[in-house]
């Protein structure tokens, strides 16, 4: 049973460019959350998607946007990239949105902005 | 607002030593959940344990044990007889009980276990 899969695993972009990261949730999960993890820091919540809608958003600018598809997979888009966007982007899935539910994380997409 | 503090940043021990990772949290909610995750060099966060705020029973699972004390807002994690494979970054995290709640992480503790 595959867990959470993310693509690409690594990518390099230049300032001002746009990037799209993809996530397939664990089988049976319908909720996807995205986290940004800067080097040496804990993951920071970006947003959560459930039933194809953004349900909760962290303190990130509008340059960060997302989408959830009918098959529960999700994309994270970042526009006008800044050097500070360099980080590991983690996708997590769960069954529904309740706080008790354990999040299953993928291995992440490491973005480097030059 | 929620906050998780992991005051220790790096811990280095010799194999077979016991090690305790500290976690202190802040929340105004009365019902919440606490988690420990492990992040090996591969990057994937691996779930270790979840504790709810109304269950202060401490738990032992193999070489791992957890100490939850609501009175001091602490949720500490102990590895007994550490092994080299335990080397990783360990994160404590907090999530409130409502729907659509986010997981708030501490900054993590880097544990190095030397042979």
Q: What is the pLDDT of residues B24-76, one digit of tens each?
A: 999 999 899 999 999 998 889 999 989 989 887 777 788 999 999 999 999 99
Residue A61 has pLDDT above 80, yes or no: yes
Among chain B residues, CA nearest to A88: B43
Residue A3 has pLDDT above 90, yes or no: yes
Of B44, B97, B99, the CB nearest to A105: B44
Cα–Cα distance, B39 to B91 (Å, whole number): 8
Q: What is the residue-averaged pLDDT of chain B?
A: 93
Cα–Cα distance, B60 to B53 (Å, whole number): 18
Read off the DSSP letter of residue A67. Answer: E
Whose tokens are 């992480």? That residue is: B105
Give the model confidence (pLDDT) of A82-109 as tens digits: 999 999 999 999 988 777 789 999 999 9
Q: What is the CA radius of gyration of chain B?
A: 14
| Cβ pairs bridging A and B (under 8 Å) | 73
Give the E-state strand segments of chain B in sequence order.
3-5, 10-14, 19-21, 24-26, 32-39, 46-52, 59-61, 64-69, 74-79, 88-96, 103-105, 109-114
Interface test with A, best of B30, B103, B109 (most A CBs within 10 A): B103
Q: What is the pLDDT of residue A101?
A: 84
Cα–Cα distance, B108 to A12 (Å, whole number): 26
Show the CA angle centred on residue B56, arms to residues B50 and B60, nearest 5°: 60
Residue B99 has pLDDT above 90, yes or no: no
Q: What is the pLDDT of residue A100?
A: 78
**Sheet strands side by side (includes A64-68):** A5-7, A19-24, A74-78, A64-68
Of A42, A43, A99, the CB nearest to B98: A99
Cα–Cα distance, A108 to B43 (Å, whole number): 7
Instruction: Sort out which chain B residues have CB atoms less than 8 A from A99's CB and list them.
Output: 32-33, 95-99, 101
């Amino acid at each position: 049973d595959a867990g959470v899969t993310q693509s690409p695993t690594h990518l390099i972009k230049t300032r001002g460019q746009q990037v799209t990261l993809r996530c397939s949730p664990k089988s049976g999960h319908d909720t996807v959350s995205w986290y940004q993890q800067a080097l040496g820091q804990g993951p920071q919540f970006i947003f959560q998607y459930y039933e194809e809608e953004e349900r909760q958003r962290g303190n990130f600018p509008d340059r960060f946007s997302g989408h959830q598809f009918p098959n529960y997979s999700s994309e994270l888009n970042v526009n006008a990239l800044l050097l500070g966007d360099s980080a590991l982007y983690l996708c997590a899935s769960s069954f529904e949105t309740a706080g008790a539910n354990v999040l299953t994380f993928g291995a992440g997409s490491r973005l480097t902005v030059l | 607002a929620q906050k998780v503090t992991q005051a220790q940043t790096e811990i280095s021990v010799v194999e077979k030593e016991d090690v305790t990772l500290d976690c202190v949290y802040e929340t105004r909610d009365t019902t919440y959940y606490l988690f420990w995750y492990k992040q090996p060099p591969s990057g994937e966060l691996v779930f270790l344990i979840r504790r709810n705020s109304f269950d202060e029973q401490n738990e032992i699972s193999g070489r791992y044990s957890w100490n939850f004390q609501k009175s001091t807002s602490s949720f500490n994690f102990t590895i007994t007889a550490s092994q080299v494979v335990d080397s990783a970054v360990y994160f404590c995290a907090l999530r409130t009980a409502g729907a659509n709640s986010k997981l708030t992480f501490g900054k993590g503790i880097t544990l190095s276990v030397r042979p």
